[in-house]
Amino acid sequence: MNIAIFTDSFLPHVSGVCSAVINQANELARQGHYVMIFRPKAFGQNTKRKIERSGELAAKIRDVAISLPSLRQPGLRIAIPTVAPNLPTLRRFRPDIVHVHTEWGCGWEGGMLAKMLRKPLVGTFHTFFAEPEYLKQFHLPNHRLTQEMMWRYSVFFYNHCDRILSPSRSVAQQLTERGAEKIPHLMSNGIPQYARVPEEAIVRERKALGLEGTFVFLYVGRLSEEKSLPVLLRAFQQVAVQRAEARLVIMGDGPVRKELEVMMSTMGLEAQVLFTGSILHVELVKRNLPRIGQVFVTASKTENQPVSLLEAMSFGVPLIGPEAKGIPELVRPGQTGLLFPPDDTAALTAAMLRMMDDAGLRQRCGDAARILAEENSIENIVHQLTFHYHQTIEARRTRKRRRAIRRLRSRARFSRP
């Protein structure tokens, strides 16, 4: 198949949506399909030619020509759908299906082009933009009316799709309750099964970071408001008071990093908390960096199905996360990790201490997490994805045949003497 993917969140902006798109595109290409990705036009060093030559992506990149920089998210650009420049490109590519991963400028570009070319349209809902943390990023007031308007916008967008996919039951349920005309189909983002490096290599990584003889809690992801990282820092402060060997490693970068570093200094945690900054994703997984942590922890309560959790699980790392949105579908209490009530610092502290004190629990959760990650392998997920593509294409053909039959019957009635 020829598959056209449209996403507002893509390199050079690093996010879970970006990782999911890359993983799926690469596996689609490996299985013999042809993929073209449309993203907001980027500027500077992250040109499409450089990305295509890096070997990280087995797909062609095309730009939505007009885009504006985001003031809150470095590297993220806001696309303005123009349609006309990409219409000849898409006609030459002759897609069998169009797949949109976001509901903003690139999403509308994909939706309009699919309609013009009469191609079936699939949409994946990834992000709860109606959450207060996201409203703050958009400089929108956190009121019930605003949240309702954002939900209505998302539902309106995805109602234009022939088929809706959702990585979590939580999203599927909320879309249905809020007026989605089609029942969303549950489908994981998927995760590649990365090659494991020897344990000696992980020991060297820990030594290079000054983590010898310590117990490491690890967070990997974007440093932004919706990730609730102040909750994690406050909980870890209480852990550090009781366990001198505890360390918190935060891998990633983002708009709130400076605020978090100031908060860390104010708490007197400079010796216990390490900010590594941004690490290229290909290096992160190649070096198995999630394995430097004994436990992966997140306090974000806005997640659908975070790729960072799936990656940690694939390396057998037990999890701690809030009981919110799609997190409980990955963090299963006592099986793959521990849950805590969202924003409950004391409960998060207790969960972290329990993981530190119970090596058997960590081993059991890590083993179960690896098994669950294998069930979400990208190979299996892309087989599901292509099934949905074929079903959507066939449903479109069936509707066309039915319309043609109705027209013929109507003409036959009028032509009778």
Residue 379, pLDDT score: 96
Q: Which residue has the tokens 């890096």?
A: 54
Checking if the pLDDT of 408 tops 90, the result is no
372 Cβ contact partners less than 8 Å away, ≥ 6 residues apart:
313, 330, 332, 336
Residue type, 262: V
The pLDDT of residue 144: 81
Residue-level pLDDT at 30: 95
For the chain, give the percent of residues with pLDDT over 90: 73
Q: Which residue has the higher pLDDT, 244 or 134?
A: 244
Q: Which residues contact 303 (CB under 8 A, 6 or more apart)?
A: 16, 309, 321, 324, 325, 326, 327
Q: What is the tens place of the pLDDT at every residue in 209-247?
A: 999 999 999 999 999 988 999 999 999 999 999 999 999
- pLDDT above 80: residue 75: no
- Exposure b/e, 295-326, CB count within 10 A at least 16 = b: bbbbbbbbbbbbbbbbbbbbbbbbbbbbbbbb
Q: Tell me the pTM.
A: 0.89
Compute the distance between CA of residue 21 and CA of residue 7 in angstroms, rounded to an integer: 8
φ, ψ for residue 36, nearest 5 deg: -125, 125
Three-state DSSP at 312 gives helix
Residue 148 pLDDT grade (very low, low, confident, very high; cuts 50, 70, 90) = confident
Lowest-confidence pick of 60-69, 155-164, 304-313: 60-69
pLDDT in tens, 157-181: 999 999 999 999 888 888 899 899 9
Cβ(180)–Cβ(213) under 8 Å? no
Give me the domains of the chain, ranges plus CATH numbers: 2-190+382-405 (3.40.50.2000), 199-375 (3.40.50.2000)
Tens digits of residue pLDDT in 313-362: 999 999 999 999 999 999 999 999 999 999 999 999 999 999 999 999 99
Query: Which pLDDT does position 129 carry in this prediction?
Result: 73
**pLDDT higher than 90, residue 143:** no
Q: Are strands 77-80 and 66-69 parallel, antiparallel or unpaired?
A: antiparallel
Q: Is 190 within 8 Å of 377 (Cβ atoms)?
A: yes
Determine the straight-line distance between the first and last CA of the chain, rounded to whole angstroms. Answer: 47
Q: How far is CA 352 from CA 13, 117, 185, 274, 348, in A?
A: 31, 53, 34, 17, 6
Mean pLDDT of the 39-57 span = 67
Question: 49: pLDDT confidence band, cut at 50, 70 and 90?
Answer: low
